[in-house]
Amino acid sequence: MADLTLTKKDFTSDQEVKWCPGCGDYSILSTMQSYLPELGIERENIVFISGIGCSSRFPYYLDTFGMHSIHGRAPTIATGLAISRPDLTVFVITGDGDSLSIGGNHLIHSLRRNIEIKILLFNNRIYGLTKGQYSPTSEQGKVTKSTPLGSLDTPFNPISLALGAEASFVARTVDSDRKHLTETLRAATAHKGSALIEIYQNCPIFNDGAFDIVKDSETKGGALLQLIHGQPIKSDTHGLVHAGASLKVVELNSVPESDLVVHDAHNPDPAYAFALSRLSASELDHVPIGVFRDVERSGYGSLVNNQVADIIAKQGAGDLHTLLTSGDTWKVD
C-alpha cells in the first residue's frame, strides 16, 4: 500500500539545483515535487528518465529512481523499462530539441504504440544547454547564435505532431501556472497509455519572454483558450465556434454563448483535437491550454504482457529441455 504520509520533502533529493536563476524549470520541479505525494505511489516505484538538455537534469532533483540518459533517446529506455516493469510509473523528461529534433523518431513511435509513459516536454523554443541555438519550435526568422540572419525553418507544433502520431493523451500547460500544471499532471497520470504534456517554459537566458503573452496578467486572460471537458471553449475575451469543418476564434460578444464549441477531450476523432491545435500559430495570440485529447486505447506494455500471459495460459510455461530437444533429433549410443 502507498505510504500516504509522504510530503514534498520526501521527493526532494539532496542534489543542488543548478538551473539559471529565474529558469522556468524551477517552478515545474517544485510543482512536480508537490504533486507526487498526491499520486499515492511509493518513491521506489516512480522512475524519471530524461535525455540531454537543461530540462533533462530534472531527475537528479527528485528522490525517486532516475536516469539522465543520452540526447533524444529517453523514450527508448523508458519503453523497455515500462514494458518489462509494468509495476512502475515512468515519466520522461525532455526538451524541445531533445524530443523534436534528435529524438523525434522515438517520440512519435512511443506515442503511436501508446507506451505507458508520461512525457513532459519542456518547450522553451530554444536550445538552452548548448547556449542558445534555435530549436524545432523556434519561430521562423528567429535570430540566434546559429541563425544571425534569422532561422529559415518552419517550426513544429508539438501538439499537432503528437496528434498526428496517434497520441491518446495530449495536453498543454505553462511552467508558472502551478494549479494548471498540477491538474494536467493529474489528468496525465490518470490516463492509461502514453501522455504528452507540452509545457511552455521560459528560458530567461536565451529566449526570455517567449511566452509572456500567455503569462502576463494583462494579456493571458485574452490569449489562453481554456480547454475544460464539457465546458465551452473560451478566453476572457474570445470564444471558439465551428466554421465549416474547422474552428474559428471570435470575440465573445459577437456570438451567443450557446454557439461556442463545448470541449470534448474524449472525442474519438483526432481531427477535432488537431483543429484545436492549429489555433495557435507561432504568434501565440490565441493559445488553447489544457487537455486536447484523452481517449482510451490499450497501453502497449499491457498488450505485450497479455500476449505472454495468454500463451502461457494456453500452452503452459516453456520448458527448456523440451525446447532444446524439439524438432528432428537422433541418439548416438
Ligand X SMILES: Cc1ncc(C[n+]2csc(CCOP(=O)(O)OP(=O)(O)O)c2C)c(N)n1
Binding stretches for Mg ion (CB under 5 A): 95-96, 124
Q: Which does 43 bind (CB under 5 to 8 A by kind): other proteins, ligand X, ligand SF4, none?
A: other proteins
State the CB neighbour count (10 A cutoff) for residue 129: 17
Query: Is 109 or 297 the residue whose CB approaches other proteins more closely?
Result: 109
Which range touches ligand X (CB under 6 A), out of 6-14, 89-97, 211-219, 306-314?
A: 89-97
Between residue 290 and residue 309, which ones bind other proteins under the rule CB under 8 A?
304, 307-308
Query: Is 102 or 228 the residue whose CB approaches ligand X more closely?
Result: 102
Cα 142 from chain centre: 25
Q: Between 25 and 54, how does the x/- string for binding to ligand SF4 read (CB under 6 A)?
A: x----------------------------x
User: Is residue 52 exposed (0-12), middle (13-18) or buried (19+ Cβ within 10 Å)?
Assistant: buried
Q: Say what angle helices 104-113 and 74-84 make with each other, to 10 degrees.
A: 30
Between residue 40 and residue 99, which ones bind other proteins under the rule CB under 8 A?
42-45, 47, 49, 52, 59-60, 62-70, 73, 75-85, 87-88
Sign of the C-alpha dihedral, residues 250, 254, 255, 257?
A: positive
Give the separation between CA 180 and CA 56, rounded to whole angstroms: 22
Q: Are 159 and 292 in contact (CB under 8 A)?
A: yes
Q: Which does 330 bind (CB under 5 to 8 A by kind): ligand SF4, other proteins, Mg ion, none?
A: other proteins
Give the separation between CA 252 and CA 211, rounded to whole angstroms: 23
Within 8 A by CB and 6+ apart from 199, the residues are: 24, 28, 120, 121, 122, 123, 172, 173, 174, 175, 181
Give the separation between CA 251 and CA 238, rounded to whole angstroms: 4
Query: Is 158 or 270 the residue whose CB approaches ligand X more closely?
Result: 158
Write out the residues near other proteins by the rule CB under 8 A. 13, 15, 42-45, 47, 49, 52, 59-60, 62-70, 73, 75-85, 87-88, 105-106, 109, 304, 307-308, 311-312, 315-318, 320-321, 323-325, 327-333
Write out the residues near ligand SF4 by the rule CB under 6 A. 19-20, 23, 25, 54, 124, 128, 203-206
Write out the residues near ligand X by the rule CB under 6 A. 52-55, 71, 95-98, 122, 124, 126-130, 135
